[in-house]
Structure 1
Amino acid sequence: MSAPLLSCRGLEAGYGVSQVLFGLDFDIQPGEVLALLGRNGMGKSTTIKTLVGGLRLQRGEIRFDGRPIHAASADAIARLGVAIVPEGRQCFPNLTVREHLIAFADTRNGVAEPWTLARLYALFPRLAERAGHMGNQLSGGEQQMLAIARALSTNPRLLILDEATEGLAPVIRDEIWRCLALLKAQGQTTLVVDKYVDKLLALADRNLILERGRIAWQGSSAELDGQRALWTRYLGV
């Protein structure tokens, strides 16, 4: 097996005196899709914040392509090739769709086929139709498409999606899943958080379940599909 693109050891983090993560160990291999699962409040978003530099670790180490990044700033981590599609989309209300996609565009990571504006519009034709519209003029589904396209415009080595289909209409959710399947087929390394486990099983190579800030279970999608009791124990509402 090749060296992991992302390696996390002993992650501990929290907010003030409230500790949220307790000794997380996991890796993401190049080209792999890892699903991060768990009920609300189990530490998924906190884990993502530590990975992208939004929250400093209390203890532990994060390495990206062999390089320690746990003390790096968020912008430095982004420049190394980590891009996030944040929960809530966070599109800029005063930028057009096109401005979102050219303002963050970068090819510093030397990818063979970079995400150009034309490729992004081909991935999400609706964005091409709305190219001149401001961020606050888009529907929730269009904003999610824009948030994904904006992240891809940086040509990331690792793409992180926090609540990828939260609050979207079924037809838009299907469009997002189609997009993620295409990215996987193209070899995009991805960490994804979502509540639709059945959809994630078809997408993810491996799954990691958090329970109160600890790893309760991890394994392949085939293994998780065969252990439906885990769904009730750790993922049911």
Structure 2
Amino acid sequence: MSREVLLSCLGLEAGYGASQVLFGLDFDIRAGEVVTLLGRNGMGKSTTIKTVIGGLRARRGEIRFDGQAIHGLSADAIARLGVAIVPEGRQCFPNLSVREHLVAFADNRSGTREPWTLERLYALFPRLKERAGNLGNQLSGGEQQMLAIARALSTNPRLLILDEATEGLAPVVREEIWRCLARLKEAGQTTLVVDKYVERLVKLADRHIILERGRVAWAGSSAELDAERTLWHRYLGV
């Protein structure tokens, strides 16, 4: 049985001022899938995410979430529909404690019967339980990344977007993030991932979308991407 499409972008165009960045993107993400958005720096990955979550208005095209057009909605309205992002740079609040981060945004936007409660989030990231009373600016980079992921999960999103989730992390912390993402996949969490570690992503994701100068240059499964290593060099510089 095929999965239902949760997010779809059709003919998506966007940019900044006189500069156009996206040129007619077409892609979709089905419920329960882990999909990656790949490409060198400056190819349109961040702009795609900003447009999907309402941080940047699309110039042309459609964005649909569970069949509903969302390209005219505010970022807050899109978030309430069940789209959560782990932003590049983490963006933890310096004056909120770990626990306050996880309680302040708690919701069940997916309507799941087994929501991510505070206790379950602490079980996923035991370090956060140890640091529950620490403020956001008192955490290490790795701890802030765990907190950013847990904060997004506290809303129980239908779609989780991770923008450079392992960027700048120590290898041991990066491995912990990969383990977390594998657990989320097993739980059926629909996820869009932007990251540069292709070797790990082909083991984790179902499908991949490669962007080149604001267009979809290639799209396919992990097996196909793994078999076509020339794509890694051509589009990703790996």
- TM interval, shorter chain, is over 0.9
Q: Deviations over 1:6-40 (max 9, x none)?
A: 01100000000100000000000000000100000
Instruction: List aligned pairs for 1:13-24, cutoff 5 A.
Output: 13-24=14-25
2:201 partner amino acid: L
TM superposition score normalised by structure 2: 0.99
What residue in structure 2 maps to residue 175 of structure 1? Answer: 176
Contact kept, 8 Å, 2:121 with 2:150, in 1: the verdict is yes
Instruction: List aligned pairs for 1:45-194, cutoff 5 A.
Output: 45-194=46-195
TM superposition score normalised by structure 1: 0.99
Q: Deviations over 1:62-110 (max 9, x none)?
A: 0000000000000000000000000000000000000000000001431
The structural deviation recorded for 1:164 is 1.0
The answer to whether structure 1 residue 34 and structure 2 residue 35 are counterparts is: yes
Distance in 1 (CA, whole Å) between partners of 2:206 and 2:3 is 15
What residue in structure 2 maps to residue 235 of structure 1? Answer: 236
Q: Deviations over 1:174-197 (max 9, x none)?
A: 000000000000000000000000
Q: Deviations over 1:148-194 (max 9, x none)?
A: 00000000000000001000000000000000000000000000000
Distance in 2 (CA, whole Å) between partners of 1:55 and 1:108 is 23
What residue in structure 2 maps to residue 215 of structure 1? Answer: 216
- Name the count of aligned residue pairs: 237
Distance in 1 (CA, whole Å) between partners of 2:58 and 2:180 is 32
Q: Which runs of 5+ in 2 are unaligned?
A: none
The structural deviation recorded for 1:112 is 1.6
Secondary structure, counterpart of 2:5 in structure 1:
coil
Against the structure 1 CA distance between its residues 133 and 35, is the aligned structure 2 distance closer, same or farther, given a 3 Å change threshold? same
RMSD, aligned α-carbons:
0.7
4+ residue runs over 2 A deviation: none
Q: Which runs of 5+ in 1 are unaligned?
A: none
Secondary structure, counterpart of 1:105 in structure 2:
coil
Distance in 2 (CA, whole Å) between partners of 1:34 and 1:123 is 22
